[in-house]
Amino acid sequence: MNIENWNLDMPVAGLGPYDPQNIFARILRGELPCNRIYEDDYALAFHDIHPRAPVHVLIIPKLPYVSLADFTAQASPEQIGGFFKAVGAVAKQLNLEAPGYRILANMGAHGHQEVPHFHVHLFGGRPLGPMLVEF
């Protein structure tokens, strides 16, 4: 399935139907620019527009999934494996393996997900502190 014939009728777990006009869909279609740092068959990675760390990159699957629930339920093992290999490849490309880094994926309202296309944030470039600011 390529970007021109996404199946948007697929059932979605968690967050409702996929919105093909969301900002990351528009980036994938080339309608909006991004500061791209990595791309393969499964994933696209680019710098976050509002960085929260010296390195703040977003990695997104190239197919239309709203959330991790949607992605893991609907995507093929090849797509899922390819995507997470891409996350690792991006960290390696950015020389973050030795100093370390953090990945994070926000899901739904409690997760404060703003863009309804599944994505992983990758943070690094300084000690990142504890996992959550407060509890």
Report, as residue numbers or ranges, the catalytic residues. 119
Segment 107-113 long-range contacts (CB within 8 Å, at least 24 positions apart): 107/14, 107/15, 107/67, 107/68, 107/69, 108/14, 108/15, 108/67, 113/15, 113/67
CB neighbours of 5 closer than 8 A, spacing ≥ 6? none
Establish if 34 lies at the interface with ligand DGP (CB under 6 A). yes
Q: How far is the CB of 52 from ligand DGP (least distance, A)?
A: 7
* Interface pick for ligand DGP out of 114, 129, 130, 134 (rule CB under 6 A): 114
Q: Considering all CA atoms of the chain, what is the largest pairwise distance in Å, rounded to the nearest integer?
A: 43
- Subset of residues 45 to 104 that bind ligand DGP, contact rule: CB under 6 A: 46-50, 58
23 forms part of the interface with ligand DGP (CB under 6 A)? yes
Q: Under rule CB under 6 A, how many of the chain's residues touch ligand DGP?
A: 14
Tokens at 72, concatenated: 């893991």
In this complex, which beta carbon is closest to ligand DGP, that of residue 31 or of residue 78?
31
Contact residue for ligand DGP among 113, 118, 123, 124 (CB under 6 A): 113
Establish if 110 lies at the interface with ligand DGP (CB under 6 A).
no
Q: Which of 68, 50, 84, 82 is nearest to 117 (CA)?
A: 68
Which residues of the chain form contacts with ligand DGP (CB under 6 A)? 23, 32, 34, 46-50, 58, 106, 112-115
